[in-house]
Amino acid sequence: MKSFSKREADRRTFLEQVRESKENGYLLSSKKIGSGAFSKVYLGYATQEKMMQNYKLASDLRNKRHSMVAIKIISTAEAPVEYTKKFLPREIYSLNVTYKHLNIQLYEMYRNSKRTYLVLELASRGDLLEHINATSDRREYPGLEEEEARRLFRQIVSAVAHCHNVGIVHRDLKCENILLDERGFIKLTDFGFANRYSLKNSLMSTFCGSVAYTAPEILMSKKYNGELADLWSLGVILYAMVTGKLPFKERQPHKMIHVIKQGLAFRQPISPECQNLIEGLLQLKPAARLGLQQVATHRWMLPATSAIFHRVMSSMGVHPECSVGQEKPQAASGTRGASGAAGPQQPRPPGPAQRPGPPPPPPDEPIKAYSESPRAAACCDARAPRRPRT
């Protein structure tokens, strides 16, 4: 239990934050929707005066028919210099250049000597991990139906493709960092480990991300291509979506490498097309992984019906057979094992997924058990950056 002096200090700090937010045109509520090592995220409201001054904010909230925002308050006075000088500027830059295209929106930033405030888009339906677990509780098999997984995964691929198109690699892709808005569309968030790159094949060295989603070359402390590392994470996310479990489960990097090398197992029925796509992404050798263009045109992903997906892929020079229109926000009905467009069986690329492994272990726990931390149902969570390895 907090001491009286601690509670009083917290109360005074919150009142300061309320005052500072009001001075900048926002009403800060006491409802906390997320927290990190150096930050807290509160539900807030944009005033009419603010919306008259900020066209981007007004336009988006008008479409949403509410004035709610997520206000992320970062205690820059308490955060380490590495975070304030390196990771926070990268996050702000990434949010600015990936504006829209299924990424969480940064409406405004204001700061003083003690704190930095990020006014972010509110995604009110929680994160993908919560959605997978809630859906699994209602189904015979854990995970999402393939039709719904396909609809959401197309959006995720579109969001990541847009980031790569503008020279941003995310480096922390996971189910907790994919939010759902009030319409059921995804919003990619938490760009705290994102970084920009100028050369297509440039290599990075910082150890980033959550172990369960991190590419093996990063776990082995090798220099890595950020785009190819993001592709591995996409494979883990898709596996989690259709099975309700994580493909590889270890908390220590050196142990995780051993588990990955043992091979990938599918312990419940999914369509051969979906399995082929997952195996193509979860290749031990980075260069052997399917690229975003190959993912976009994979038969499990077709026919694509999302106008956003079509537009982003077209900007990459990819023109999947596509019936362009507004994708339905609600999950489509379907059964597990539904396939995409018919076509000849694609050969499965060799990799860890096809090497014989040990006998299947007993039934897994829900994916929730392996989440490293609970996530807010609203917006990105600033936390202490894991120690870089250079």
C-alpha 327/C-alpha 338 separation (Å) is 18
How confident is residue 158, by pLDDT bands cut at 50, 70 and 90?
Answer: very high
pLDDT in tens, 172-212: 999 999 999 988 999 999 999 999 987 777 899 999 889 99
| pLDDT of 16 | 96
C-alpha 142/C-alpha 245 separation (Å) is 8
C-alpha 327/C-alpha 147 separation (Å) is 12
179 close to 378: Cβ distance less than 8 angstroms: yes
| pLDDT of 332 | 37
User: What value does the CA radius of gyration of the chain take, rounded to a whole number of Å?
Assistant: 21
Closest CA to 143 of 353, 297, 364: 364
Q: Where are the domains of the chain?
A: 14-121, 126-306
pLDDT in tens, 7-55: 899 899 999 999 999 999 999 999 998 888 889 999 999 999 999 999 8
Question: In 3-state terms, what secondary structure has residue 29?
Answer: strand
What is the third-level CATH fold of 14-121? Phosphorylase Kinase; domain 1 (3.30.200)
CB-CB neighbours of 327 under 10 Å: 18
Does 10 participate in catalysis according to the annotation? no
Which superfamily is assigned to 126-306 in CATH? Answer: Transferase(Phosphotransferase) domain 1 (1.10.510.10)
Strand-pairing partners, residue 110, are 117
Closest CA to 122 of 213, 189, 221: 189
Question: What burial letters (b/e) apply to 283-295, b meaning 16+ CB within 10 Å?
Answer: bbebeebbbbebb
| pLDDT of 376 | 35
C-alpha 346/C-alpha 273 separation (Å) is 8
C-alpha 193/C-alpha 195 separation (Å) is 6
Of residues 370 and 138, the one with the higher pLDDT is: 138
Arithmetic mean of pLDDT, 375-384: 35
Closest CA to 313 of 147, 152, 189, 157: 157
Catalytic residue of the set 127, 172, 190, 230? 172
DSSP string, 191-247: -TT-EE-SSTT--B----S-GGGS-HHHHTT--B-HHHHHHHHHHHHHHHHHHSS-S
| pLDDT of 347 | 41
C-alpha 112/C-alpha 387 separation (Å) is 27
149 close to 139: Cβ distance less than 8 angstroms: no
| pLDDT of 368 | 45
pLDDT in tens, 354-372: 433 444 443 444 554 333 3
Strands 26-35 and 68-74: unpaired
